[in-house]
Amino acid sequence: MKILAVETSCDETAAAVVEDGVKVLSNVVASSAAMHEKYGGIVPEVAAREQLKCMIPVIQEALSLYSSSERVQPASREVSNVSSRLRSNNIDAIAVTVGPGLIGSLLVGVETAKTIALVTGKPIIPVNHVLAHMYGNFVNHQQIDKVTIQQINNSTINFPAISLVVSGGHTELYLMKSIKDLAWLGGTLDDAAGEAFDKTARLLGFGSRGGVAIQEAAKKCQMINAKCQIKLPRPMMDDESLNFSFSGLKTAILREWKKLESQGLTGSDPVIHALAYEVQEAITDVLVVKTLRAAKKYNAKSILLSGGVAANLRLREKLQRAISHQSSAVSFFAPPAQLCTDNAVAIAACAFFRGKPADWHTITALPDFSVEHSAA
Protein backbone atom coordinates (compact mmCIF):
# COMPACT_ATOMS: atom_id res chain seq x y z
CA MET A 1 0.00 0.00 0.00
CA LYS A 2 1.48 3.35 -1.07
CA ILE A 3 0.57 6.38 1.03
CA LEU A 4 1.18 10.03 0.17
CA ALA A 5 1.52 11.87 3.51
CA VAL A 6 1.35 15.58 4.24
CA GLU A 7 2.69 17.26 7.41
CA THR A 8 2.33 20.95 8.37
CA SER A 9 1.89 21.03 12.15
CA CYS A 10 4.60 23.63 12.89
CA ASP A 11 7.01 25.53 10.61
CA GLU A 12 7.85 22.62 8.29
CA THR A 13 5.98 21.75 5.10
CA ALA A 14 6.56 18.09 4.34
CA ALA A 15 5.33 15.42 1.95
CA ALA A 16 6.44 11.83 1.47
CA VAL A 17 5.47 8.64 -0.32
CA VAL A 18 5.93 5.49 1.77
CA GLU A 19 5.09 1.90 0.87
CA ASP A 20 3.63 -0.45 3.50
CA GLY A 21 4.75 1.87 6.31
CA VAL A 22 8.41 0.95 5.90
CA LYS A 23 9.77 1.71 2.44
CA VAL A 24 10.51 5.39 1.82
CA LEU A 25 9.87 6.21 -1.84
CA SER A 26 10.32 9.96 -1.39
CA ASN A 27 10.74 12.42 1.47
CA VAL A 28 10.62 16.21 1.06
CA VAL A 29 10.80 18.77 3.89
CA ALA A 30 10.78 22.57 3.49
CA SER A 31 11.31 24.72 6.57
CA SER A 32 10.64 28.39 7.21
CA ALA A 33 12.92 28.35 10.31
CA ALA A 34 15.30 30.97 8.86
CA MET A 35 12.42 33.44 8.42
CA HIS A 36 11.63 33.33 12.15
CA GLU A 37 15.23 33.91 13.26
CA LYS A 38 14.88 37.69 13.59
CA TYR A 39 11.78 37.30 15.80
CA GLY A 40 13.51 34.87 18.20
CA GLY A 41 10.84 32.18 17.77
CA ILE A 42 8.24 30.80 15.38
CA VAL A 43 5.68 33.37 14.25
CA PRO A 44 2.57 31.27 13.43
CA GLU A 45 1.26 33.57 10.73
CA VAL A 46 4.62 33.72 8.94
CA ALA A 47 4.81 29.91 9.08
CA ALA A 48 1.30 29.46 7.64
CA ARG A 49 1.86 31.97 4.83
CA GLU A 50 5.07 30.17 3.80
CA GLN A 51 3.26 26.83 3.95
CA LEU A 52 0.56 28.15 1.64
CA LYS A 53 3.27 29.05 -0.86
CA CYS A 54 5.21 25.81 -0.79
CA MET A 55 2.58 23.11 -0.01
CA ILE A 56 1.82 22.21 -3.63
CA PRO A 57 5.47 22.40 -4.84
CA VAL A 58 6.52 20.14 -1.93
CA ILE A 59 3.83 17.58 -2.80
CA GLN A 60 4.78 17.78 -6.47
CA GLU A 61 8.42 17.18 -5.62
CA ALA A 62 7.57 14.19 -3.41
CA LEU A 63 5.51 12.66 -6.22
CA SER A 64 8.12 13.43 -8.83
CA LEU A 65 10.98 11.95 -6.76
CA TYR A 66 8.88 8.86 -6.23
CA SER A 67 8.12 8.55 -9.95
CA SER A 68 11.80 8.78 -10.84
CA SER A 69 12.79 6.29 -8.11
CA GLU A 70 10.17 3.81 -9.30
CA ARG A 71 10.47 4.76 -12.98
CA VAL A 72 6.71 5.23 -13.03
CA GLN A 73 5.53 6.55 -16.39
CA PRO A 74 2.96 9.31 -16.05
CA ALA A 75 -0.30 8.35 -17.76
CA SER A 76 -0.85 11.86 -19.05
CA ARG A 77 1.35 14.64 -20.34
CA GLU A 78 0.37 16.90 -17.43
CA VAL A 79 3.31 15.74 -15.35
CA SER A 80 3.24 18.81 -13.13
CA ASN A 81 -0.37 18.22 -12.20
CA VAL A 82 -0.73 16.68 -8.73
CA SER A 83 -3.97 14.88 -9.48
CA SER A 84 -2.73 13.21 -12.68
CA ARG A 85 0.47 12.17 -10.92
CA LEU A 86 -1.55 10.61 -8.12
CA ARG A 87 -3.64 8.62 -10.56
CA SER A 88 -0.68 7.42 -12.57
CA ASN A 89 1.56 6.73 -9.57
CA ASN A 90 -0.65 4.13 -7.91
CA ILE A 91 -1.00 6.02 -4.67
CA ASP A 92 -3.54 4.13 -2.55
CA ALA A 93 -4.31 6.70 0.17
CA ILE A 94 -3.57 10.20 1.48
CA ALA A 95 -2.49 10.71 5.11
CA VAL A 96 -2.43 14.05 6.86
CA THR A 97 -1.46 15.47 10.25
CA VAL A 98 -4.62 16.91 11.79
CA GLY A 99 -3.05 17.94 15.13
CA PRO A 100 -1.77 18.85 17.62
CA GLY A 101 -0.07 21.95 16.23
CA LEU A 102 -0.52 25.52 15.04
CA ILE A 103 -4.01 26.09 13.68
CA GLY A 104 -2.97 28.15 10.62
CA SER A 105 -0.27 25.65 9.68
CA LEU A 106 -2.49 22.60 10.21
CA LEU A 107 -5.25 24.11 8.07
CA VAL A 108 -2.90 24.40 5.08
CA GLY A 109 -2.03 20.67 5.15
CA VAL A 110 -5.48 19.42 6.12
CA GLU A 111 -7.40 21.39 3.50
CA THR A 112 -4.86 20.53 0.78
CA ALA A 113 -5.01 16.82 1.62
CA LYS A 114 -8.82 16.87 1.69
CA THR A 115 -8.92 18.55 -1.72
CA ILE A 116 -6.54 15.96 -3.18
CA ALA A 117 -8.64 13.15 -1.70
CA LEU A 118 -11.83 14.63 -3.09
CA VAL A 119 -10.43 15.23 -6.57
CA THR A 120 -8.77 11.83 -6.87
CA GLY A 121 -11.31 9.77 -4.93
CA LYS A 122 -8.54 8.30 -2.73
CA PRO A 123 -9.19 7.46 0.94
CA ILE A 124 -7.86 9.98 3.46
CA ILE A 125 -6.36 9.02 6.85
CA PRO A 126 -6.15 11.61 9.68
CA VAL A 127 -3.02 11.27 11.85
CA ASN A 128 -1.98 12.51 15.32
CA HIS A 129 1.42 14.21 14.92
CA VAL A 130 2.83 13.19 18.31
CA LEU A 131 1.91 9.51 17.96
CA ALA A 132 3.27 9.56 14.41
CA HIS A 133 6.76 10.50 15.62
CA MET A 134 7.28 7.04 17.13
CA TYR A 135 6.51 5.30 13.81
CA GLY A 136 9.69 6.82 12.34
CA ASN A 137 11.29 3.89 14.18
CA PHE A 138 9.54 1.31 12.00
CA VAL A 139 10.75 2.75 8.71
CA ASN A 140 13.49 0.93 6.87
CA HIS A 141 16.39 3.23 7.76
CA GLN A 142 19.01 1.69 5.55
CA GLN A 143 17.61 3.66 2.66
CA ILE A 144 17.96 6.92 4.52
CA ASP A 145 21.07 6.76 6.63
CA LYS A 146 23.90 4.26 6.46
CA VAL A 147 24.73 4.26 10.16
CA THR A 148 21.72 4.11 12.42
CA ILE A 149 21.16 2.58 15.79
CA GLN A 150 18.70 0.14 14.26
CA GLN A 151 21.43 -1.21 12.01
CA ILE A 152 23.98 -1.31 14.81
CA ASN A 153 21.59 -3.42 16.89
CA ASN A 154 20.58 -5.38 13.84
CA SER A 155 17.43 -6.36 15.67
CA THR A 156 13.72 -5.97 15.19
CA ILE A 157 11.36 -4.14 17.50
CA ASN A 158 9.84 -6.58 19.97
CA PHE A 159 6.87 -5.86 22.22
CA PRO A 160 6.04 -4.70 24.82
CA ALA A 161 7.99 -1.57 23.99
CA ILE A 162 8.37 1.75 25.78
CA SER A 163 8.22 4.75 23.51
CA LEU A 164 9.52 8.19 24.53
CA VAL A 165 8.41 11.02 22.25
CA VAL A 166 10.37 14.23 22.91
CA SER A 167 9.68 17.24 20.74
CA GLY A 168 9.32 21.02 20.93
CA GLY A 169 5.84 20.81 22.42
CA HIS A 170 5.67 17.30 23.90
CA THR A 171 7.44 14.91 26.27
CA GLU A 172 5.33 11.75 26.39
CA LEU A 173 5.87 8.13 27.43
CA TYR A 174 3.80 5.35 25.87
CA LEU A 175 3.52 1.62 26.31
CA MET A 176 3.31 -0.17 22.97
CA LYS A 177 1.75 -3.57 23.49
CA SER A 178 1.84 -4.16 19.75
CA ILE A 179 2.49 -1.98 16.73
CA LYS A 180 -1.00 -0.50 16.95
CA ASP A 181 -1.97 -1.02 20.58
CA LEU A 182 -0.78 2.00 22.57
CA ALA A 183 -1.33 3.29 26.11
CA TRP A 184 -0.23 6.71 27.37
CA LEU A 185 1.84 6.44 30.57
CA GLY A 186 2.83 9.99 31.39
CA GLY A 187 3.91 13.33 30.05
CA THR A 188 5.10 16.76 30.98
CA LEU A 189 3.10 18.75 33.51
CA ASP A 190 4.37 22.05 32.08
CA ASP A 191 7.16 22.72 29.53
CA ALA A 192 8.35 20.09 27.07
CA ALA A 193 12.01 19.03 26.92
CA GLY A 194 12.42 20.69 23.50
CA GLU A 195 10.93 23.88 24.89
CA ALA A 196 13.55 23.84 27.67
CA PHE A 197 16.28 23.49 25.02
CA ASP A 198 14.74 26.25 22.88
CA LYS A 199 14.24 28.74 25.72
CA THR A 200 17.77 28.14 27.00
CA ALA A 201 19.22 28.66 23.52
CA ARG A 202 17.48 32.01 23.22
CA LEU A 203 18.56 33.03 26.71
CA LEU A 204 22.21 32.18 26.06
CA GLY A 205 22.20 34.19 22.83
CA PHE A 206 22.10 31.26 20.38
CA GLY A 207 18.94 32.54 18.65
CA SER A 208 16.23 30.15 17.51
CA ARG A 209 18.48 27.18 16.67
CA GLY A 210 17.29 25.52 19.88
CA GLY A 211 18.57 22.11 20.92
CA VAL A 212 21.08 21.92 18.06
CA ALA A 213 22.81 25.09 19.34
CA ILE A 214 22.86 23.77 22.92
CA GLN A 215 24.29 20.46 21.71
CA GLU A 216 27.06 22.28 19.80
CA ALA A 217 27.93 24.55 22.74
CA ALA A 218 27.91 21.57 25.13
CA LYS A 219 30.28 19.71 22.81
CA LYS A 220 32.77 22.59 23.00
CA CYS A 221 32.69 22.24 26.77
CA GLN A 222 33.26 18.46 26.52
CA MET A 223 36.17 19.02 24.09
CA ILE A 224 38.12 21.21 26.49
CA ASN A 225 37.11 18.81 29.26
CA ALA A 226 36.09 21.74 31.43
CA LYS A 227 34.93 20.93 34.93
CA CYS A 228 31.42 22.22 35.17
CA GLN A 229 30.89 24.08 38.45
CA ILE A 230 27.27 24.80 37.62
CA LYS A 231 24.77 22.35 39.05
CA LEU A 232 21.17 22.38 37.91
CA PRO A 233 18.23 20.44 39.37
CA ARG A 234 16.84 17.25 37.74
CA PRO A 235 13.12 17.98 38.21
CA MET A 236 10.90 15.02 39.17
CA MET A 237 13.69 12.55 38.42
CA ASP A 238 13.16 10.70 41.70
CA ASP A 239 9.39 10.94 41.52
CA GLU A 240 7.88 7.48 40.96
CA SER A 241 5.34 8.76 38.42
CA LEU A 242 6.11 8.75 34.71
CA ASN A 243 5.44 12.48 34.42
CA PHE A 244 7.97 15.22 33.72
CA SER A 245 8.36 18.90 34.59
CA PHE A 246 10.87 21.25 33.00
CA SER A 247 9.63 24.71 34.00
CA GLY A 248 11.58 24.73 37.31
CA LEU A 249 14.73 23.92 35.38
CA LYS A 250 14.09 26.95 33.19
CA THR A 251 13.95 29.17 36.29
CA ALA A 252 17.18 27.66 37.64
CA ILE A 253 18.90 28.24 34.28
CA LEU A 254 17.74 31.87 34.29
CA ARG A 255 19.21 32.33 37.79
CA GLU A 256 22.61 30.94 36.69
CA TRP A 257 22.53 33.01 33.50
CA LYS A 258 21.88 36.24 35.42
CA LYS A 259 24.96 35.57 37.56
CA LEU A 260 27.11 35.05 34.44
CA GLU A 261 25.58 38.00 32.61
CA SER A 262 26.39 40.32 35.49
CA GLN A 263 30.04 39.26 35.04
CA GLY A 264 29.82 40.40 31.40
CA LEU A 265 30.12 36.89 29.93
CA THR A 266 28.79 36.22 26.38
CA GLY A 267 27.72 33.17 24.34
CA SER A 268 31.27 32.43 23.16
CA ASP A 269 32.70 32.20 26.70
CA PRO A 270 33.68 28.69 27.94
CA VAL A 271 31.55 29.20 31.06
CA ILE A 272 28.49 29.63 28.84
CA HIS A 273 29.45 26.39 27.08
CA ALA A 274 29.67 24.77 30.51
CA LEU A 275 26.16 26.02 31.32
CA ALA A 276 24.88 24.61 28.00
CA TYR A 277 26.56 21.30 28.88
CA GLU A 278 24.88 21.16 32.29
CA VAL A 279 21.49 22.05 30.76
CA GLN A 280 21.86 19.16 28.31
CA GLU A 281 22.94 16.83 31.14
CA ALA A 282 20.00 17.83 33.34
CA ILE A 283 17.38 17.35 30.60
CA THR A 284 18.84 14.09 29.31
CA ASP A 285 19.34 12.62 32.81
CA VAL A 286 15.63 13.04 33.57
CA LEU A 287 14.57 11.59 30.20
CA VAL A 288 16.85 8.55 30.60
CA VAL A 289 15.86 7.76 34.20
CA LYS A 290 12.10 8.04 33.53
CA THR A 291 12.29 5.95 30.35
CA LEU A 292 14.21 3.19 32.09
CA ARG A 293 11.78 3.25 35.01
CA ALA A 294 8.90 2.73 32.57
CA ALA A 295 10.80 -0.06 30.78
CA LYS A 296 11.40 -1.89 34.06
CA LYS A 297 7.81 -1.47 35.23
CA TYR A 298 6.35 -2.90 32.01
CA ASN A 299 9.08 -5.50 31.27
CA ALA A 300 9.81 -3.83 27.96
CA LYS A 301 11.76 -5.72 25.32
CA SER A 302 12.42 -2.57 23.28
CA ILE A 303 12.82 1.15 23.92
CA LEU A 304 11.92 3.59 21.15
CA LEU A 305 13.06 7.20 21.07
CA SER A 306 11.54 9.80 18.71
CA GLY A 307 10.67 13.48 18.17
CA GLY A 308 13.03 16.39 17.42
CA VAL A 309 14.95 16.07 20.71
CA ALA A 310 15.70 12.42 19.81
CA ALA A 311 18.26 13.88 17.36
CA ASN A 312 20.33 14.88 20.39
CA LEU A 313 23.49 12.79 20.30
CA ARG A 314 24.09 12.94 24.05
CA LEU A 315 20.57 11.67 24.76
CA ARG A 316 21.00 8.80 22.30
CA GLU A 317 24.38 7.89 23.76
CA LYS A 318 23.20 8.03 27.39
CA LEU A 319 20.02 6.09 26.73
CA GLN A 320 21.88 3.43 24.77
CA ARG A 321 24.45 3.08 27.57
CA ALA A 322 21.87 3.01 30.38
CA ILE A 323 19.79 0.39 28.57
CA SER A 324 22.70 -1.97 28.03
CA HIS A 325 23.60 -1.51 31.74
CA GLN A 326 20.08 -2.36 32.89
CA SER A 327 19.45 -5.39 30.70
CA SER A 328 20.97 -7.11 27.71
CA ALA A 329 17.46 -8.24 26.74
CA VAL A 330 16.26 -4.73 25.90
CA SER A 331 16.99 -3.24 22.47
CA PHE A 332 17.21 0.46 21.74
CA PHE A 333 15.83 2.15 18.62
CA ALA A 334 16.00 5.74 17.39
CA PRO A 335 15.38 7.01 13.86
CA PRO A 336 18.12 8.83 11.93
CA ALA A 337 18.17 12.58 12.75
CA GLN A 338 16.13 13.62 9.69
CA LEU A 339 13.30 11.34 10.80
CA CYS A 340 13.41 12.67 14.39
CA THR A 341 12.49 16.25 13.47
CA ASP A 342 9.18 16.89 11.69
CA ASN A 343 8.70 14.94 8.47
CA ALA A 344 5.91 13.25 6.52
CA VAL A 345 7.51 9.78 6.42
CA ALA A 346 6.47 9.12 10.04
CA ILE A 347 2.95 10.37 9.23
CA ALA A 348 2.65 7.82 6.40
CA ALA A 349 4.05 5.02 8.60
CA CYS A 350 1.60 5.82 11.42
CA ALA A 351 -1.30 5.94 8.94
CA PHE A 352 -0.31 2.53 7.60
CA PHE A 353 0.14 0.81 10.96
CA ARG A 354 -2.73 2.26 12.98
CA GLY A 355 -4.62 4.79 10.84
CA LYS A 356 -8.28 4.56 9.88
CA PRO A 357 -9.61 6.22 6.72
CA ALA A 358 -12.32 8.77 7.44
CA ASP A 359 -14.90 10.59 5.37
CA TRP A 360 -13.20 13.80 4.18
CA HIS A 361 -16.20 15.85 5.39
CA THR A 362 -15.41 14.86 8.98
CA ILE A 363 -11.70 15.68 8.86
CA THR A 364 -10.73 18.96 10.46
CA ALA A 365 -7.62 20.60 11.92
CA LEU A 366 -7.37 19.86 15.67
CA PRO A 367 -4.73 22.15 17.25
CA ASP A 368 -5.30 20.57 20.70
CA PHE A 369 -5.65 16.97 19.51
CA SER A 370 -5.17 14.82 22.62
CA VAL A 371 -1.97 12.80 22.83
CA GLU A 372 -3.35 10.74 25.73
CA HIS A 373 -6.74 9.66 24.48
CA SER A 374 -5.72 9.28 20.82
CA ALA A 375 -3.38 6.49 21.89
CA ALA A 376 -6.24 4.31 23.15
CB of 210 vs ligand KG4, minimal distance in Å: 3
Q: Report the Cα–Cα distance between both ends of the chain, in Å, rounded.
A: 24
- The least distance separating ligand KG4 from the CB of residue 132, rounded to whole angstroms, comes to 10
Q: Where are the alpha helices (DSSP H) in the chain?
A: 33-36, 44-70, 82-88, 103-120, 129-135, 149-153, 193-203, 210-223, 247-262, 270-297, 313-326, 345-354
- The amino acid sitting at 307 is G
Is the Cβ of residue 79 or residue 289 nearer to ligand KG4 in the bound state? 289
Q: What is the dihedral of CA 279, 285, 286, 288, to 10 degrees?
A: 140
Site string for ligand KG4, 156-185 (x = CB under 6 A): -----------xxx----------------
Q: Closest by alpha carbon to 143, among 14, 24, 283, 21?
A: 24
| Nearest approach, Cβ of residue 130 and ligand KG4 (Å) | 7
Q: Taking CB within 5 to 8 Å according to partner kind, which of Zn ion, ligand KG4, none is near residue 171?
A: none
By CB under 6 A, residue 342 contacts ligand KG4: yes
Least distance CB 302 / Zn ion (angstroms): 21
The distance between the two most distant Cα atoms of the chain, rounded to a whole number of Å, is: 68
CB 312 to Zn ion: min, Å:
14
- Where in 131-190 is the site for Zn ion (CB under 5 A)? 167
Closest CB to ligand KG4 among 33 and 226? 33
CA distances in angstroms from 167 to 10, 122, 242, 253, listed in the order given: 11, 31, 17, 20
Residue 211's binding partner, choosing from Zn ion, ligand KG4, none, with beta-carbon cut-off 5 to 8 A by kind? ligand KG4
Partner touching 104 among ligand KG4, Zn ion, none, CB below 5 to 8 Å by kind: none
Q: Among ligand KG4, Zn ion, none, what does residue 312 contact (CB within 5–8 Å per kind)?
A: ligand KG4
Shorter beta-carbon distance to ligand KG4: residue 9 or 67: 9
Note whether 341 binds ligand KG4 by CB under 6 A: yes
**Distance (Å, whole) CA 333 – CA 303:** 6
Identity of the residue, 19 or 172, whose beta carbon is nearer to ligand KG4 in the bound complex: 172
Among 194, 235, 336, 355, binds ligand KG4 (CB under 6 A): 194
197 binds ligand KG4 (CB under 6 A): yes
Stretch that binds ligand KG4, among 51-59, 193-201, 294-302, 349-357 (CB under 6 A): 193-201
User: Whole-angstrom Cα distance, residue 195 to residue 71?
Assistant: 42
Residue 342 interacting with Zn ion (CB under 5 A): yes
| Residue 309: contacted member of ligand KG4, Zn ion, none (CB under 5 to 8 Å, by partner type) | ligand KG4
Number of residues that bind Zn ion (CB under 5 A): 2
Burial string for 53-64 (b: 16+ CB within 10 Å, else e) reads: ebbeebbbbbbb
Concatenated DSSP letters of 133-160: HHHGGGS-GGGT-SS-HHHHHT----SS
How many residues sit close enough to ligand KG4 to count as binding (CB under 6 A)? Answer: 18
Name the pairing type of β-strands 161-166 and 2-7.
Answer: unpaired
Which among 352, 344, 354 is positioned nearest to 19, based on CA atoms?
352
Binding residues for Zn ion, per CB under 5 A? 167, 342
Binding residues for ligand KG4, per CB under 6 A? 10, 167-169, 194, 197-198, 210-212, 215, 307-309, 311-312, 341-342
